[in-house]
Amino acid sequence: MGDVTSRYLIVSNRLPITAVVENGNLELKASTGGLATALKQVFGEDNATWIGWPGETGALMRKAREQLEDGLEKAGMVPVYLAAKQVERFYEGFSNGVLWPLFHYLLDTVRSDAGRDWEAYREVNEKFAEAVVAVYKPGDRIWVQDYQLCLVPGMLRKRLPQASIGFFLHIPFPASGVFRILPWRREILQGLLGADLIGFHTFSYARQFSSCLLRILGLESNVDTVTHDGRLVRIGAFPISIDTEHFETASAHPEVTAKAEEIRHHHPGCKILVGVDRLDYTKGLKRRVLAIEHLLEKHPELAGKFKFIQAAVPSRAGVEAYKQLRKQIDELVGRVNGRFSTISWSPVQYLYRGLDGHELLGLYRAADVMLVTPLRDGMNLVAKEFVACRHDDDGVLVLSEFAGAAWEMGEAIIVNPYNEDELADAMHRALTMDEPERRFRMQRLRKRVRDWTVHEWVRQFDQALTLVTTENAAWHRT
Ligand code: ADP
Ligand code: F6P
């Protein structure tokens, strides 16, 4: 990764550890989500400083600040504290009430009262930019992550004109017809253009971004480059991945094997379908449970023959749409179980919590069928983690065509998650697929996650950033 003397400043809204203050005691927990999972496996403390929010409001945090800062400093992390109002308006209001649903094409969920929250978004982006400037040294490479911080590259460019700045979007970038709905579309694009390199998971997202530059700012890109404010900005596709070796090794641990056996033992005679997600309306959980109901209507002979285990870790619990989703899933699971359960069997087992490492990997190994059916997803790392854990070359992946991962994982059963009938048929096909076909597909999927890991993702992004920064420096010398 780069040359050894350069330092990386990783800037993300959430740090890879989240602080929780309970009864005055501070606990540091690993953050959940694709960004944290991917990046924390790559960046060592010696060559990287991670700047971000520790996940609690400043007021609560003050009680335990000294203890927290000591822990963060040892881990190479710099906290950016958010006040309660900023959490409400920047994080819940604008980032997760406007940009998140809009970029995932869920327009009915976009808040209509976003004006006040935009100001907070700008203000918190300034706060992050200032935190970066405070620790920046010439030669550092700045990697800004995700939709919460779209204005940071532009703010940094004003303060550090020569800095090497990369931006990576971990969620989809929508088609211009959707993006143009956003009243602050110009500001968002201009903020991003402060970077030297703007990375997306897929070519399709990169193309859609270029098309927005043309239609909204009138900027024409030449293949993967656009000229803006006297600098080159490169746009590219860098599909994120996982630390495959880590998942392969960790999932072979005897405790994981025991966990997988225990799960199977608890469901004798049943095939096991698994879902693992943050409790997020983009993940297609409601339609997944409805498809289970539909599967049992279409194939009553399957009653008692399978178990669907869904783990959903609480996420963004302060946002209204997430509160509603929690209620809806509780009701839906209750309804389906009430309708089809017998004294000795129920179709759905629902866990509203995060799984610990052994449980998660044990579940991946116990699954006959892994259901990854988001309505829209930038990449989806769960699909890759599942495959990496399958040393037995068995198990079937059912994957949404609207997940970025579908571009790389064509041997999965690819489904349209909006089509309940198709989803139920895909589940049936996965449950009844013969062993040679399962192996054929899984071996190819496994090769793909071995060949393209998060380490390649970092290397390629880093190389592309070095190249464009060098080009820009040469341009300014002439
Ligand atoms: P997102 O970034 O939207 O959360 P990804 O699928 O890319 O989606 O990443 C989710 C990450 O969070 C994965 O590393 C996955 O293992 C982890 N994760 C998701 N749900 C759970 C859960 N219920 N328990 C433990 N880890 C989870
Ligand atoms: O990958 C998308 C993402 O929003 C990350 O930016 C984020 O860290 C993760 O999902 C979890 O969301 P949050 O930080 O809001 O809990």
Give the model confidence (pLDDT) of 399-412 as tens digits.
999 999 999 999 99
Closest-CA residue, ligand 2 atom 10, reads: 33
Model-wide pTM > 0.90 = yes
Higher pLDDT, 31 or 400: 400
- pLDDT tens profile 203-260: 999 999 999 999 999 999 887 999 999 999 999 999 999 999 999 999 999 999 999 9
H/E element holding 78?
Answer: strand 77-79
406 ligand 1 Cβ < 6 A = no
Average pLDDT over residues 306-335: 97
Mark whether 377 is an active-site residue. yes
Residue 139, token pair as written in the block: 């030669």
Mark whether 476 is an active-site residue. no
pLDDT for the residue 55: 87
Mutate to test the pocket of ligand 2, among 10, 11, 12, 13 (most ligand atoms within 8 A of CB): 13
Q: How far is the CA of 15 from the centre of ligand 2 (A)?
A: 10
pLDDT for the residue 446: 98
Q: How far is the CA of 96 from the centre of ligand 2 (A)?
A: 9
Q: Give me the amino acid identity at 240.
A: I
Ligand nearest to the CA of 168: 2
Give the pLDDT band of residue 452 (cuts 50, 70, 90): very high
Ligand nearest to the CA of 362: 1
pLDDT for the residue 141: 95
Q: Is the pLDDT of residue 142 over 90?
A: yes
ipTM rounded to 2 decimals: 0.98
Q: What number of other Cβ atoms are within 10 A of residue 407's Cβ? A: 15
- Which segment of 21-30, 146-155, 300-309, 464-473 scores lowest on mean pLDDT? 21-30
Instruction: From the CA of 33, give the closest atom in ligand 1.
Output: 4
pLDDT for the residue 5: 55
pLDDT for the residue 426: 98
By the 8 A CB rule, do 197 and 465 touch?
A: yes
* Catalytic-role residue among 117, 140, 146, 170: 170
pLDDT for the residue 316: 95
Give the pLDDT band of residue 61 (cuts 50, 70, 90): low
The region, left, alpha or beta by phi > 0 then psi within -120 to 50, assigned to residue 166 is beta
Average pLDDT over residues 371-382: 98
Q: What are the start-end ranges of the E strands in 209-302?
A: 225-228, 231-237, 271-278
Q: Is the pLDDT of residue 45 over 70?
A: no
To the nearest 10 degrees (0 to 180), the angle between helices 254-266 and 357-366 is 60
